C-alpha cells in the first residue's frame, strides 16, 4: 500500500473458501481490510494474503482488465476484481465468491477448462480453404472498415467467463455452449476473411447451441469489456435459420491483395520490416 | 443442424398460429359485431352457425392446420423446457419419442374428427 494512501474505511471481506482436499463444502471466512481511495478488490485480496491469511487462492495476472484471469463474484455480480474499486461497490461489507456455473478448483479459482473446450469446439479462428495462404501469407486480405465494424466488438472479449457466470441457462444446463463461445463463433462468422461458418453451424445449431439461449441478456450486462454476447447469439440464430432455409447470400471470403502497394495504408505509418524467415 | 430445423419450424408455426388465432378471435369472440361466418345470427358457437362453418372446406383445412401447428409449437416448446432439466440423453430420446407419438396421435384424432364433422355437415346441408 503506498504511504500516501490514507485508510478511508475498514471493509469486511466475506470470502468464499474451499479446498476440495480438506473441505466438504465451500464456507465463508471474514477478513477486515483497511481500504483507501482507488483500492481495487484485487488489492484487497493481496492485502489479505500478505497480512491475514497466506492460504487464500485466486487467479490473476495483468492487474489492468486485459487478461481476464480475475473474474469473480463481487457482491453477487460477476466482474473483474482488478477493475473494480472497493469503495465503488461496498460501504461496510463485500462478498467475494468464485464465479458460479463452474467447479471450484480452490477458494476463488473456478475451473474454466469446460468453457475453453466449448470455445475450441467452435473453431475460434479464421477458417479458409486456401490453407497454404494461411500458413505462409503472400499478401494481405482486404477488409473494409465496415467489414471490421461487423465483428469488432466481439474481438474485445477477454474470456474472463463473467458472461458464463451470469447466464441463467448455463446455471441449469451445463451442456449449453454459453455466451462466450457463441459470441466467439459469431465473431469469426462475421469476419469476411473467414469461410468456416457452415462448419461452425454444425455445432452452434445443435441442441445445446444458440437456440438454448432465452435472451435474458445477463451476459451483456455482466461483460466488463462492454461486449454484447446476447446480440451475437441472436445474430447467430438468425444466420442459422437463413442458412437452413438457403436464404443467405453466399459470399466468397474476401480477396487477397497481391504484392505491396495495393492496399491504402494510413499516412505516417512506417513500412513493415523485411521478412526474416 | 437438426435443432435449427426444429427451431425454424417452431418459429414458422408460431407465425401461423398468430394469424389463425386472430381469425378465431374474429369469428368466435367478435362475432356479435362482425357476424363473420355466422350467417344465421346469434352466437357464433350456435349449432346452425357451427354446422355452416364445418361444412366448408376452408374451415376444415384451417382446423387441421391450426391443430398441426399448435401441437408442434406447443410440444416442441414443452420438450425444450423439459430438456433444460438436464435430463439424461436416453430420457431426452424417450421424451422426444413420446411427444412425437402423442403429437401424431392427437393430430390423427383431430384430423379424423374435423373430416367426419365436415362430412356430417355436408350431408346435413344436403338433407
Q: Considering only CB atoms, which chain B residues are within 8 Å of A241?
A: 4, 7-8, 11
Three-state DSSP state, B33:
helix
CB atoms B8 and A244 under 8 Å: yes
Q: Which ipTM was obtained for this model?
A: 0.76
Query: Are B86 and A205 an interchain contact pair (Cβ–Cβ within 8 Å)?
Result: no
Whether residue A244 and residue B1 make contact (CB cut-off 8 A), yes or no, is yes
Q: Which grid cell sits at A165?
A: 457466470
On chain A, the residues whose CB falls within 8 A of the CB of B5 are 244
State the pLDDT confidence band at B1, using cuts at 50, 70 and 90.
Answer: confident
Q: What is the mean pLDDT of residues B112-126?
A: 86
Question: pTM of the predicted model, to two decimals?
Answer: 0.84
Instruction: Decide if A10 contacts A31 (C-beta within 8 A).
Output: no
Contact A223, A229 (CB under 8 A): yes
Which residues 43-102 on chain B approach chain A with CB closer than 8 angstroms?
Answer: 83-86
C-alpha cell belonging to residue A34: 483497511
Q: Alpha-carbon distance A18 to A43, whole Å?
A: 21
Task: Give the pLDDT confidence of A245-268 residue by residue, as tens digits.
Answer: 999 877 778 877 766 666 666 778
For strands A27-36 and A7-17, give the pairing.
antiparallel
Residue range(s) occupied by CATH 1.10.1060.10 in chain A: 113-244
| Higher pLDDT among residues A251 and B18, named by residue | B18
Q: How many CB atoms lie within 10 A of CB A237?
A: 23
**pLDDT tens digits, B43-76:** 777 788 888 888 889 999 999 999 999 999 999 9
Among the partner-chain residues A169, A175, A211, the one whose CB lies closest to the CB of B7 is A211
Q: How many CB atoms within 10 Å of residue A146?
A: 8
Fold held by A7-110 = Ubiquitin-like (UB roll) (3.10.20)
In chain B, where the domains are located? 2-126
**Residue B75 has which C-alpha cell?**
410440444
Residues of A within an 8 Å Cβ radius of B: 169, 172-175, 201-202, 205-207, 209, 211-212, 237, 240-241, 243-245
All CATH 3.10.20.30 domain ranges of chain A, comma separated, are: 7-110
| Min Cα separation A132/chain B (Å) | 30
- Is B1 in Cβ contact with A205 (below 8 Å)? yes
**B2–A206 C-beta distance less than 8 A:** yes
For the record, the C-alpha cell of A136 comes out as 505462409
Across the interface, whether the CB atoms of A205 and B85 are under 8 A apart is answered no
* Pairing outcome for strands A7-17 and A93-97: parallel
- Smallest Cα distance from A82 to chain B, Å: 34
- Chain B residues in contact with A240 by the CB 8 A cut-off are 1, 4, 7
- What is the spatial distance between Cα B18 and Cα B119, in angstroms, rounded to a whole number? 28
What number does CATH give the domain B2-126?
Answer: 1.20.1300.10
Cα A44 to Cα B102: distance, rounded to the nearest angstrom:
59
The verdict on a CB contact (< 8 Å) between B3 and A207 is: yes
Of 1.10.1060.10, 3.40.640.10, 3.40.30.10, 3.40.50.300, the CATH number of A113-244 is 1.10.1060.10
Q: How far apart are CA A219 and CA A178, in angstroms?
A: 9
DSSP H or E segment with residue A230: helix A229-244
3-state secondary structure of A188: helix
Q: What is the pLDDT along chain A (277 residues), one digit of tens a residue?
A: 555 578 889 999 999 999 999 999 999 999 999 999 999 999 999 999 999 999 999 999 999 999 999 999 999 999 999 999 999 999 999 999 999 999 999 999 999 999 999 999 999 999 988 877 777 777 778 888 899 999 999 999 999 999 999 999 999 888 999 999 999 999 999 999 899 999 999 999 998 999 999 999 999 999 999 999 999 999 999 999 999 999 987 777 887 776 666 666 677 878 778 878 7
Contact (CB<8Å) A172/B84: yes
Whole-number pLDDT of residue A142: 83
Q: How far is B95 from chain A (nearest CA, A)?
A: 14
The angle at the Cα of A116, spanning A178 to A252, to the nearest 5 degrees, equals 75
Q: Where do the H-state alpha helices sit in chain B? A: 2-24, 31-34, 47-54, 57-83, 89-126
Categorise residue B43: left if φ over 0, alpha if ψ from -120 to 50, beta otherwise: beta
Amino acid at each position: 500500500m503506498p504511504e500516501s494512501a490514507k485508510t478511508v474505511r475498514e471493509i469486511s471481506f466475506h470470502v468464499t473458501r474451499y479446498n476440495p482436499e480438506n473441505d466438504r463444502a465451500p464456507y465463508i471466512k471474514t477478513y477486515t481490510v483497511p481500504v483507501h481511495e482507488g483500492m481495487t478488490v484485487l488489492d484487497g485480496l493481496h492485502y489479505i494474503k500478505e497480512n491475514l491469511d497466506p492460504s487464500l487462492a485466486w487467479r490473476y495476472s495483468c492487474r489492468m482488465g486485459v487478461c481476464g484471469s480475475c473474474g469473480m463474484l463481487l457482491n453477487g455480480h460477476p466482474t473483474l476484481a482488478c477493475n473494480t474499486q472497493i469503495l465503488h461497490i461496498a460501504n461496510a461489507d463485500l462478498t467475494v465468491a468464485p464465479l458460479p456455473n463452474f467447479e471450484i478448483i480452490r477458494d476463488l479459482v473456478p475451473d474454466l477448462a469446460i468453457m475453453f473446450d466449448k470455445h475450441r469446439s467452435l473453431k475460434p479462428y479464421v477458417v479458409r480453404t486456401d490453407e497454404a495462404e494461411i500458413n505462409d501469407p503472400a499478401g494481405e486480405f482486404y477488409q473494409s472498415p465496415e467489414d471490421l465494424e461487423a465483428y469488432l466488438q466481439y474481438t474485445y472479449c477477454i474470456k474472463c467467463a463473467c458472461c458464463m457466470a451470469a447466464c441463467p441457462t448455463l446455471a441449469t444446463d451445463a451442456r449449453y455452449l454459453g455466451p462466450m463461445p457463441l459470441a466467439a463463433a459469431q465473431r469469426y462468422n462475421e469476419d469476411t476473411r473467414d469461410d468456416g461458418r457452415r462448419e461452425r453451424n454444425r455445432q452452434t445449431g445443435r441442441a445445446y447451441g444458440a437456440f438454448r439461449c432465452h435472451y435474458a441478456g445477463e451476459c451483456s450486462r455482466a461483460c466488463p469489456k462492454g461486449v454484447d454476447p446476447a446480440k451475437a447469439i441472436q445474430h447467430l440464430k438468425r444466420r442459422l435459420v437463413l442458412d437452413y432455409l438457403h436464404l443467405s447470400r453466399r459470399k466468397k471470403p474476401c480477396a487477397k491483395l497481391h504484392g505491396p502497394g495495393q492496399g491504402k495504408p494510413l499516412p505516417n505509418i512506417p513500412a513493415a520490416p523485411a521478412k526474416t524467415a | 443442424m437438426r435443432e435449427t430445423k426444429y427451431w425454424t419450424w417452431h418459429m414458422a408455426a408460431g407465425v401461423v398460429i398468430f394469424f389463425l388465432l386472430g381469425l378465431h378471435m374474429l369469428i368466435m369472440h367478435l362475432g356479435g359485431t362482425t357476424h363473420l361466418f355466422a350467417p344465421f345470427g346469434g352466437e357464433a358457437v350456435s349449432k346452425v352457425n357451427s354446422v355452416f362453418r364445418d361444412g366448408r372446406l376452408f374451415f376444415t383445412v384451417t382446423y387441421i392446420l391450426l391443430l398441426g401447428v399448435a401441437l408442434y409449437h406447443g410440444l416442441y416448446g414443452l420438450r425444450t423446457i423439459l430438456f433444460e432439466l438436464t435430463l439424461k440423453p436416453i430420457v431426452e430420446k424417450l421424451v422426444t419419442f413420446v411427444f412425437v407419438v402423442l403429437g401424431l396421435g392427437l393430430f390423427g384424432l383431430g384430423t379424423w374428427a374435423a373430416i367426419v364433422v365436415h362430412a356430417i355437415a355436408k350431408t346435413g346441408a344436403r338433407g
